[in-house]
Amino acid sequence: MAVASREVHLIERPEGLPVATQFEIVETTIDDPAEGEFLIRNQYMSVDPAMRPRLSNGQQPLHKPLGAGTIGVVTASRHSAFAEGDVVQHGLGFREYVVSDGRGVSRLDAAGFPPTLYMHVLGPTGFTAWGGMLITGELKDGENVFVSAAAGAVGSVAAQIARIKGCYVIGSAGSSEKCEWLENELSIDVAINYKEGVLRKNLKAAATQGIDVYFENVGGEHLDAALPRMNVGGRIPVCGMISAYNNFGARSTGVTTLSNMVYQRITMRGFVVTDFEEKREKFLDDMRGWVADGQMKYRETVFEGIEQAADALIGLFTGENIGKALVKLD
């Protein structure tokens, strides 16, 4: 029997910070799966900064569900490889139900962990932090580390990996609540509220031994402040530049200190999570171990209902989330 479903569409391309009226909840009817297909009822949708540039640069089509990672359960199947009750993970976007032929859908074996962990600490954002820190950043035990957007999904994992490796860890975040969580719950050494005082000065005061690895999530003023603090041979794995994503062409602003790359022989290298695919088993081994023994903590900011999806996405740019931003569907 066909089911009623709702989807989140982009109806107008944003300039600057998106507003809720640029999105629309569209009601639709999903037909029964045909032979070789199955029906998924989505349970959680992942909200990610990378969705933002696509809204303006045309990669996200208008009047189609927003592309995003999702976890759901199979509720009817005429497909040989997927059975009713299977928990699945896919990128078919912001919608309550979807029919699939299996392309781009994988069955999720959560191995005893809550399935939502595979949307963050055991999933894409955790893998990003692990690969960026240990492979691109070539982190060594006991180094001095700075992580920006440290109370977010990627940043909180990156900061804790450095702490697990015995590093001195400085993190930046945009509120005192986030800084308290970083210092008191995640046990990082110093959390800087970049919205108070002068970041450049506060980072200089915190980084008494300089910085060997700057895990870059923000760009702009953060990169400008970090470069003069880098030690000789320092590495900057460039994960993202969220401060730029609402600008035209996602252009970053305000970096005036690049000459330090020469003086300090700094390596700055961008990466995307798919670069590390061949190391996925090693990542899962490490991260499942750290989560199971309590060394790796996590937090979810859950927005309830598909009606909250646009606000959840906008909230990434106003700092609404601590840890991973998710939308839970009814």
Q: Which is nearer to ligand NAP, 14 or 319 (CB)?
A: 319
45 binding ligand NAP? (CB under 6 A):
no
CB 99 within 8 Å of CB 31: yes
Instruction: From 106, 167, 156, 151, select the one nearest 130 (Cα to Cα).
Output: 156
Contact code string over 186-225 relative to ligand NAP, x by CB under 6 A: -------------------------------xx-------
33 binding ligand NAP? (CB under 6 A):
no
98 binding ligand NAP? (CB under 6 A):
no
d(CA 5, CA 116) in angstroms, rounded, equals: 22
The three-state secondary structure class of 153 is helix
Q: Which is nearer to ligand NAP, 71 or 149 (CB)?
A: 149
273 binding ligand NAP? (CB under 6 A):
yes
Applying the rule CB under 6 A, the residues between 103 and 162 that interact with ligand NAP are: 125, 128, 149, 151-155
Strand stretches in 78-228, DSSP E: 87-90, 97-100, 106-107, 144-147, 168-173, 190-193, 211-215
Half-sphere exposure of 22 (CA within 13 A, CB side): 19
User: DSSP secondary structure string, 27-38?
Assistant: EEEEPPP-TT-E
Name the residue with tokens 């005893």. Answer: 112
Q: Which is nearer to ligand NAP, 74 or 147 (CB)?
A: 147
Point out which span in 5-13, 109-117, 133-141, 241-249 binds ligand NAP (CB under 6 A): 241-249
316 binding ligand NAP? (CB under 6 A):
yes
Q: Which is nearer to ligand NAP, 39 or 327 (CB)?
A: 327
242 binding ligand NAP? (CB under 6 A):
yes
Point out which span in 94-102, 133-141, 174-182, 200-208 binds ligand NAP (CB under 6 A): 174-182
The three-state secondary structure class of 204 is helix
Contact code string over 49-88 relative to ligand NAP, x by CB under 6 A: xx--------------------------------------
For the chain, first and last CA: distance in Å? Answer: 19
Q: Which is nearer to ligand NAP, 40 or 242 (CB)?
A: 242
Question: Contacts by 54-58 with C-beta closer than 8 Å and gap 24+?
Answer: 55/10, 55/13, 55/14, 55/18, 55/22, 56/13, 56/14, 56/15, 56/248, 57/249, 57/250, 58/13
**CA angle in degrees (0–180, nearest 5) for 87-94-272:** 80
271 binding ligand NAP? (CB under 6 A):
yes
Answer for which of 173, 192, 230, 296 binds ligand NAP (CB under 6 A) is 173
Q: Where along the sequence are the contacts to ligand NAP (CB under 6 A)?
A: 48-50, 125, 128, 149, 151-155, 173-175, 178, 217-218, 239-243, 271-273, 316-317, 319, 321, 325
